[in-house]
């Protein structure tokens, strides 16, 4: 099945508005580049702000999904875009002036500090993390969607040796399943669903098989929302998303220059909790730019229903850092 519609990024105007002060000051990283929708909007804005010819290596797109990055490369080709598939091939900093305006890197955002070091693209003035799925990942052969039958995979990087969703289900205990569905999906019927899946786990090979198992215990009127939560929880487990998010947020804060901004778009409560934990931990050096999360308006949700659960939060790294040796606040430029 081919993709018939390109991925529609969410909250684009708010993302561009928050990151506009970062453009041209340093490198802006989209740590979840996906199909390149936000990068395209940021590149458009950067062209308005910076004279042509001086926009060297100021936008970096990182994603673990090579398929999504290939779509992004096509989408961003008019701006000058290079796709680096293997960071291992970059042995030393190459310098911004030798690179394209936009670089796409296949990597886990947990490793964004290594990407910055190897490419020599400091300082980092902005980081965006849009934690939602890309439309390209919803094709049946990827296993993320319950709306069409396909292999029960769910790995962002299909070339990795990590276990698929099917393999994880084969080995999971009832307690594992219950914990995943309660913690990562807030599923009220987690107990009943866990028992049903555990009993049938050896026969679950495809997304369609999993749907049929869940159908046995969930009434039709609640089935779609329940399936969305179950598939979400499994996807999080397969890709170790929550732990990776914690590490990625810490990496972003460490990389940002004073005045740099971090913008995060969350879609479920676990992701939102990670952001709040990060903010509390680094409160002495962060200015909260969004006292309340920003949501898509009614027009955006109508045009793109998948945006309805998105919530945006943003912080700015200040020049005030806490001196942990004496608990005083001191001014320092990192």
Q: Which residues are annotated as a binding site for S-adenosyl-L-methionine?
A: 36-38, 63, 109, 130, 137
Q: Which residue has the tokens 């395209």?
A: 40
Q: Which residues are annotated as a binding site?
A: 36-38, 63, 109, 130, 137
H-only helix segments in the chain: 12-19, 37-49, 66-75, 112-119, 165-171, 174-183, 190-200, 207-215, 220-238, 241-255, 269-281, 298-303
Cα 139 from Cα 142, distance rounded (Å): 6
Identify whether 123 is preceded by a cis peptide bond (ω within 30 of 0). Answer: yes
Q: What share of the chain is helix, strand, coil (3-state, %, to 5)?
A: 50, 20, 35
Angle between helices 220-238 and 241-255 (to 10 degrees): 60
Cα 26 from Cα 259, distance rounded (Å): 11
b/e sequence 124-151, b meaning 16+ C-beta within 10 Å: bbbbbbbbbbbbbbbbbebbbbbeebbb
Helix (H, G, I), strand (E, B) or coil at 30: strand
Helix (H, G, I), strand (E, B) or coil at 312: strand
| Cβ-based neighbour number of residue 231 at 10 Å | 23
Cα 308 from Cα 323, distance rounded (Å): 41
Residue 267: both structure tokens together: 């879609």
């Amino acid at each position: 099945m081919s993709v018939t519609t390109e991925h529609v990024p969410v909250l684009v105007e708010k993302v561009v508005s928050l990151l506009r002060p970062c453009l041209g000051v340093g490198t802006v990283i989209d740590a979840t580049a996906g199909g390149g929708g936000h990068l395209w909007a940021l590149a458009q804005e950067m062209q308005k702000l910076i004279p042509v010819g001086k926009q060297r290596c100021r936008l970096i797109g990182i994603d673990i999904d090579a398929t999504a990055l290939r779509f992004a490369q096509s989408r961003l080709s008019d701006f000058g875009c290079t796709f680096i598939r293997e960071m291992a091939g970059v042995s030393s900093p190459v310098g911004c002036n030798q690179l394209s305006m936009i670089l796409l890197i296949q990597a886990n955002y947990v490793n964004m500090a290594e990407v910055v070091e190897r490419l020599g693209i400091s300082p980092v003035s902005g980081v965006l993390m849009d934690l939602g799925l890309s439309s390209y990942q919803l094709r049946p052969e990827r296993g993320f969607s319950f709306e069409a039958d396909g292999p029960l995979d769910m790995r962002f990087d299909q070339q990795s040796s990590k276990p698929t969703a099917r393999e994880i289900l084969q080995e999971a205990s009832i307690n594992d399943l219950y914990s995943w569905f309660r913690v990562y999906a807030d599923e009220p019927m987690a107990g009943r669903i866990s028992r049903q899946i555990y009993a049938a786990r050896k026969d679950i090979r495809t997304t369609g098989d999993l749907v049929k198992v869940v159908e046995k215990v969930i009434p039709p009127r609640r089935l779609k929302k329940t399936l969305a939560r179950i598939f979400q929880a499994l996807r999080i487990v397969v890709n170790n998303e929550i732990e990776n998010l914690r590490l990625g947020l810490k990496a972003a804060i460490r990389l940002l220059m004073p005045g740099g901004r971090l913008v995060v778009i969350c879609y479920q409560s676990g992701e939102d909790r990670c952001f709040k934990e990060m903010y509390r931990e680094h409160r002495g050096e962060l200015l909260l730019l969004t006292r309340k999360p920003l949501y898509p308006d009614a027009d955006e949700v109508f045009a793109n229903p998948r945006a309805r659960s998105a919530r945006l939060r943003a912080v700015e790294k200040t020049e005030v850092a806490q001196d942990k040796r004496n608990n005083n606040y001191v001014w320092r430029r990192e």
